[in-house]
Amino acid sequence: MSARPEEIILAEPRGFCAGVDRAIDIVEHALAKFGAPIYVRHEIVHNTYVVNDLKAKGAIFIEDLAEVPPGATLVFSAHGVSKAVQAEAEQRGFRIFDATCPLVTKVHVEVAKLAREGYEFIMIGHKGHPEVEGTMGQLDRGIHLVEDVADVARVQPEQTEKLAVVTQTTLSVDDAAEISAAVQARFPLIRAPKQQDICYATQNRQDAVKMLSREVDVVIVVGSPTSSNSNRLAELARKLGVDSYMVDSPAELRAEWLAGKKRVGLTAGASAPEVLVQDVVDRIRALGAVSIRKMDGIVETTKFPLPKGLRIGQQ
């Protein structure tokens, strides 16, 4: 086998999803319309390059609303926020734009609707992830987090007649299915979402990595360490028996990862911009790869509209 990489195969689809596009657009439109600074609660999306780019344009990222001056413009990140954070922001009188991904908002709406009907919830997700905190924070009580099959055996809802399951949108599709099956086995009457909560972009990128892994000797995932969906892509390739590494920038790519690997697969998490993918392509080419091809894959056409009042010229 060649000591240097020969071919780069690009996964399709990869990179930005509609929710990420919309979230970044919201911050950029707010900066254009109201001027810097624009305050953003939490990283708008989990990507270092994107966050640094928006910082350079005048966005200030905060975790505590006390850091935002009265009357300022505040954007909620794509991951969504709890009812308590929403109420505090309104009480402090900020001009608020909500960049929560509409697919996360769909989960929030479902939780609120079923809670009014007396349901409790089992939520499948990662503790401490801002999306999970936002979804669980839609209710004061009655929503129980499970991170794995072992948690399912331990969870103790107050009643089981009215129980529903919801899922973080960026999980491993296969892991979520396994945990869902365990939930269903323990609570046979549990209500599942009409459509699965894992978003189309997470599903599509994982399906693409499954196809990619059959054709390559190593998979490189462009994404930040905090990005749930990027981590899942690297994990998935490893589960399929292919070496996989995640890089936040081309500088992190190490030549020894590619030594003896003829075909290099390249993908990107839903919050990683294409400019970084192309920079990583250039770095792999500098290490010897001469050809590049794109896999066939789903072409995503989903677009989400901006909130009212953000288009230039609108009041």
> Catalytic amino acids?
131
User: How many CB atoms neighbour CB 189 within 10 A?
Assistant: 9
Question: For residue 131, which amino acid is it?
Answer: E
**Distance between CA 262 and CA 195 in Å, rounded?**
40
**Distance between CA 206 and CA 95 in Å, rounded?**
37
| Residue for token pair 């669980």 | 136
Eight-state DSSP code of residue 185 = H
Handedness of CA 255, 260, 264, 265 (dihedral sign): negative
Residues 134, 29, 24, 253: what is their CA dihedral angle, to the nearest 10 degrees?
-140
Q: Are 46 and 224 in contact (CB under 8 A)?
A: yes
Element (H, E) at 287: none
**Distance between CA 120 and CA 295 in Å, rounded?**
43
User: How many CB atoms neighbour CB 51 within 10 A?
Assistant: 21
Chain centroid offset of residue 44 CA: 11
The burial of 95, by beta-carbon neighbours within 10 Å (0-12 exposed, 13-18 middle, 19 or more buried), is given as middle
